[in-house]
Chain A
């Protein structure tokens, strides 16, 4: 029994089952919040592939999130209805963009890397904000028709929040499984090695720059996937997705949840949104309270709330 509890897939499986049945128990409004948590969780875990695993603090992930969202909005406006085509194109566009940004950024480290990615992110923001003909400027691009899915001869639409939730759940689950495989692959181990000591990696024959570009591109592609989902969920793509304050969200979520655990950032996203829901019931100044909550988390939970709790419960060291 204890062995089962300690199996590394036990927790995630229970979580997946809970998430699957959640809409049966909770209100429609909560289902929508849960969808948002899952989408931002996917973004945060993709981001953490860089921060937690590779040791790179990207402050421009919003660019790839927004790019995915704009791709989806533009395709839907142009009449493309195929769900998988939209997901694929959104991911590919973000992959290409992150390859370019990564190519220029990854030779920098630490704060310099954070600043150049912030700069590139804001460059995308400026373009989205001002290229009125394509992006609709600061108003963004609305989406009126959502793609549907043909399953066994039935046409399934996603206008109903619970159905949208299951779409989000399915895609996020798939994304997380793929990311989990990557993190535990040989490539994943080399990423951790680079986080620990990139000089040593190049002195055992690894091309650090190339490895980092690939990591950056993978992270960007999955961030783009999250962006596509958010556009469908939100029926809207706006330049705000690309703003640095949006790029700060996965940073906050990852650090709240813990960067040393695969699912940490997802928990961070959960804490973030639940906290927001509670606080906005009492006050308009949600940012003030977010700040007040963040301070002790940063100061006293070096492995994030989830990471610290998990280590307490299982008495595990972080790897």
Chain B
């Protein structure tokens, strides 16, 4: 029983991180039509920049605030100078361009911060162990379990109750041609990419105290975020949420029932969902 609860908590905390990455990825895809291979690298960049800010100001919270904003600056450069040129072009070109960005970012981080591990301490208030149903559990993971829905709720409110959010939703989820209603489309694209970058980098900053920082940390998470996005339905906000929780929980329980083969779980999930519902769980047939 305790094991069950711990697995659920582990699954949820991992799922919430996946959700933050995936929701940015899916929104960028929904609006810009580009599946960003470098999204995981922006996650990684967020973690490193958070670490760097922490070292400067000695505050995790400042790192959480400033780190992702610095990453957004990098994201803006990427959108303005690279991505802008491949909108509407063949999928293979878009994937390859963002893959090139991935290679550049990963190696650049390796050059700047070295290829070894870095560790970020959680802030004092979240550092430590708490007793959950008689078992010891890190406080920081509980914090992740709570912060995920909080950010998700704020995003949901943003998409449903603000003008900008509604415009983005119109341009993405409802497939309305935004240009027809007199909206500045390039500005929307840029801001959506900035939002996506910020979410990825925020995810990275939040993940920093929980996992060791290495330049390749983005490569693992990008594949899993792809799976979340495709499983949930590309461009779907609720899809990203449900997909991330499904994958997080499945992977957590996979360690119990699948042993070594738990590595295959995300891909089996992907294959099964695409076979049953080719457009993903939350996207209507084209």
Q: Consider the complex of A and B and state whether they touch directly, i.e. have CB atoms less than 8 Å apart.
A: yes
Which A residues lie at the B interface, using CB under 8 A? 51, 57, 59, 104, 107-108, 110-112, 114-116, 118-120, 122-123, 126-127, 129-130, 132, 244-245, 248, 251-252, 255, 259, 285, 287-288, 290-292, 294-295, 298-299, 302
Q: Which residue of A lies closest to B280 (CB)?
A: A112
Expressed in whole angstroms, the Cα–Cα distance for A127 and B82 within the complex equals 37
Cβ–Cβ contact A126 & B264, under 8 A: yes
B163 within 8 A of A: no
CA distance A285 to B106 in the complex (A): 10
Known A-B contacts A119-B267, A291-B102, A299-B86; the reply to A108 vs B91 at CB < 8 A is no
**What is the distance, in angstroms, from A13's C-beta to the closest C-beta of chain B?**
30
CA distance A132 to B263 in the complex (A): 14
Neighbouring A residues of B242 by C-beta, 8 Å? none
A298 with B271: CB separation less than 8 A: no
- Give every chain B residue within 8 A of A57 (Cβ-Cβ): 91-92, 95
19 contacts between A and B (CB under 8 A): A59-B95, A104-B271, A110-B91, A112-B278, A115-B226, A116-B270, A118-B223, A119-B270, A119-B271, A119-B274, A123-B268, A132-B260, A248-B99, A251-B96, A252-B99, A285-B110, A285-B111, A288-B103, A294-B100
Given contacts A119-B270, A244-B223, A285-B107, contact A295 B82 (CB under 8 A): yes
User: Which residues of chain B have C-beta atoms less than 8 A from A251's C-beta?
Assistant: 92, 95-96
Would A299 and B97 count as touching, CB distance under 8 A? yes
Q: B103, B107, B263, B264: which has the most chain A beta carbons within 10 Å?
A: B103
Whose C-beta in chain B lies nearest to the C-beta of A300?
A: B85
A61 to B230, CA, bound (A): 20
Q: Which residues of chain B are near A130, meaning CB under 8 Å?
A: 260-261, 263-264
The B246-281 residues at the A interface (CB cut-off 8 A) are 260-261, 263-264, 266-268, 270-271, 274-275, 278-279
Residues of chain B with a CB closer than 8 A to A245's CB: 219
Specify the main secondary structure of chain A where it touches its partner.
Answer: helix
With a cutoff of 8 Å between Cβ atoms, the chain B residues found around residue A290 in the complex are 100, 103
1/0 contact string of B63-101 vs chain A (CB within 8 Å): 000000000000000000010011000011101110111
Please tell me if the beta carbons of B261 and A118 are within 8 angstroms of each other in the complex.
no
| Contacting pair B223 A288 (CB below 8 A) | no
Interface residues of B in 206-223 (CB under 8 A from A): 219, 223
Query: Inside 8 A of A116's CB, which chain B residues have their CB?
Result: 230, 270-271, 274
Q: How many angstroms between the C-alpha atoms of A130 and B82 in the bound complex? A: 39
